[in-house]
Amino acid sequence: MKLADLHGDLFAPLEDALARVRPAIELAEVAHVLSVGNGIAEVVGFTDLRADELLTFSGGVMGIASNLSEHRAGVIVLGATSRLRPGDPVRRTGRVVDVPVGAGLIGRVVDALGRPIDGGSPIDAERFLPIEQPSPPIMHRAPVQVPLQTGIKAIDAGIPIGRGQRELILGDRQTGKTAIAVDAILNQRDSGVLSIYCAIGQRASAVVRVIQSLREGGAMERTIVVVASGEDAPGLQFVAPYAATSMAEHFMAAGRDVLIVYDDLTRHARAYRELSLLLRRPPGREAYPGDIFYIHSRLLERATQLREEYGGGSLTALPVVETQAQNISAFIPTNLISITDGQIYLSPGLFEKGHLPAIDIGTSVSRVGGKVQLPAFRAVAGNLRLMYAQFEELETFARFGTQLDAETRRRLTRGLRVREVLKQREHDHVDVPEQIAALLAATEGLFDDLEPGAVAGAERTVCAAVRANLPDLCDRITEGAKLGDEDRAALIKTLREALSGAEAGTGNGNA
């Protein structure tokens, strides 16, 4: 065999393979990284780039085009910047940041981009929605009229929340803000309300405790948890609440009621301040950028109650904000107070005294008010805030040691019993008929002869008696029936008999 024939036999397969290969031309706009900072990058080389466009770096890291100028662009990096180097290629995607939505997310723990972080299977998304969407027009909105029961007596009686409302939870650190939000989620077990818990800048251990509470309470199967922890990039912390809201809006458009908790927006504002300073934007008050109000207003304005012709769903927002040294007039708290429809203020003083939940009824307010309370609830607790405020004023006056008349002593005695009724343990949810029974017993003076320490036991007695002896009335109250004079008299009679029976039993036991 000749040498030329041997070479031909050796290279024939290679020639055949090369003949089958056709070079593919990929059209893409590519720039390169000029510099990298903590959470941001500066890129050059794009001739056309849109604001908030999604970019991809090498290694799969993504970013959002933020600061656009003629020759360069500042990019918020949605991931670790430690893997980026100057000179790395950057590509346009032609789309904005979007997240998966749909029933496949229910019961899952995901990051700010909708990627699962619970070790489960990939998310089965129905579709993808941009994280930034316009809020519903005013003509698409319906009045807030349906109550969202939290199971917390102080809130449902004094600061009622309606479906579609935005109610701020604020207070100093370690006063129980997250506990109230989690209790509101846990209490939706029979209401059909879907819940989303969005953790922003929290410690991983704190998020794990919340997830554990949801699992133990049987709420995880109707909850989505979106996590951008304090260890994540500031860009992920910034986009997390918008991503969670898009997930909620998908269900709202389908006619479902959704409750979303942002825990917390103080850390969200700090993450945005960090990014803005790194992007060299002009600082304003407390070094926050000029649009700090806008980032929260455009988020919370997406919460609403839709009219029936536009789906009829609702999105209720419970944003959490942390105060320092009880200063509710600080920059971020006042911004959020002006945006929301009321606030629940947690007092460190009440917390230290053991009054849990530490809700300051005098400082807290719901701008929707009694419109969202059930009629029976409104009949019993309509003047609760006024009565409690008068009691607190009398209590302060009585500390001066002046001689008090009989009427003042009676008000102080009753106010102390009402305060005991408003105390509640964490995860101890009370249904509406039982709340009405306890509050009616306190305001009618049925607990006046008891020591404050015995009120909790008496409350359990009257709640059990109402549920056992008046089941039809309980069902009618839950369905929205008014509490007539006959119903009120029957309720008070049942409460008196239950307390008398309990006292008689206690007396026989002591004998």
Q: Which of 367, 409, 410, 460 is catalytic?
A: 367
Residue with tokens 């910034």: 238
User: Which candidate, 138, 107, 144, places its Cα nearest to that of 123?
Assistant: 107
Contact criterion met (CB below 8 Å) for 424 and 152: yes
Let me know the angle formed at the C-alpha of 329 by 324 and 335, rounded to the nearest 5 degrees: 105
Characterize the bridge pairing of strands 53-57 and 40-44: unpaired
User: Which candidate, 425, 9, 364, places its Cα nearest to that of 155?
Assistant: 364
Task: Identify the burial level of 250 via C-beta atoms within 10 angstroms of its C-beta, where 0-12 means exposed, 13-18 middle and 19 or more buried.
Answer: buried
Characterize the bridge pairing of strands 194-200 and 72-78: unpaired
Please give the structure tokens belonging to residue 453.
Answer: 């320490």
Q: What are phi and psi of 384, to 5 degrees?
A: -65, -45
Known catalytic residue at 367: yes
Residue 165 vs residues 275, 339, 379, 435: alpha-carbon distances, Å: 30, 11, 22, 22
Contact criterion met (CB below 8 Å) for 39 and 62: no
- Any residues with CB less than 8 A from the CB of 264 and at least 6 apart, and which? 177, 200, 201, 202, 319, 320, 321, 322
Q: What are phi and psi of 228, to 5 degrees?
A: -130, 90
- Any residues with CB less than 8 A from the CB of 466 and at least 6 apart, and which? 433, 434, 437, 473, 474, 491, 494, 495, 498
> Burial letters for 7-22: b for 16+ Cβ neighbours within 10 Å, e otherwise?
eeeeeeeeeeeeeeee
Largest Cα separation within the chain, whole Å, is: 128
Contact criterion met (CB below 8 Å) for 101 and 129: yes
How many angstroms separate the CA atoms of 410 and 396, rounded? 15
Q: At what angle do helices 432-443 and 384-398 cross, to 10 degrees?
A: 40
Residue with tokens 């509490």: 483
Query: Catalytic residue positions?
Result: 367
